[in-house]
Amino acid sequence: MRVFLASRNLKKIAEMERILREHLPDVEVLGIDQVDGYDEPVEDQSTFEGNALLKARAGVLATGLPSLADDSGLCVDALNGMPGVLSARWSGPPKDDARNNQLLLAQLEDVPDERRTAHFHCAVAFCHPGGEELTSGTMPGRVVREVRGNGGFGYDVLFEAEARPGLTTAELSIEDKDAISHRGWALRRMSPIVARILR
């Protein structure tokens, strides 16, 4: 059973495959780099949900496979919800996690600890011949003052989840992160829907 995931991020593809396999043990998740000549759409929507749907629709058209896409990002209260949908491109092109993290730390340098609250948000869209499905998940927490940890990706090295105080999400095991993450929540909601449709 094959599903296309509109992403080049190998860690994200592995994470999605792990969670989908709880309901679909034989699922194989293909990423963008496994599809010849795939032309990624411009993520120009103003919401996570809009970008996720845009990418999943493009995936179905390009591959003919049932397609999943997510759009996620970090929403920092002291920055009025930014970087939000611009999270991956916060420091400008090309996408660079280290540069994004440096910029975020600089922007929050004078913000006291009690005002460094934030949350990760993830929207997941599933497009298939019978229609479209959409769900989302969040992970509340705060932005710490220095980079910590080697796991995860993106802003994980700066984010301490409310559910696991004292550790950044980059310091958590894969299992612990999957259990509490915004993408984990969204995928666990979506997985039974995907399983029902594809069986």
Q: Residues with catalytic annotation?
A: 71
11 is in an annotated binding site: yes
Residue 63 is inside which H or E element, if any? helix 48-63
* 71 in a known ligand binding site: yes
> Interior CA angle at 173 toward 168 and 176, to 5°?
85
CA 138/CA 118 separation, integer angstroms: 10
Please check if 95 is assigned to a binding site.
no
Question: Residue 9, annotated ligand binder?
Answer: yes
**Other CB atoms closer than 10 Å to residue 194's CB: what's the count?**
22
182 is in an annotated binding site: yes
β-strand partners of 69:
125
**Owner of token pair 């449709």:** 197
Query: Is 173 assigned to a binding site?
Result: no
Binding residues, as ranges, are 7-12, 71-72, 153-156, 177, 182-183
Binding residues for substrate, as ranges, are 7-12, 72, 153-156, 177, 182-183
Binding residues for Mg(2+), as ranges, are 71
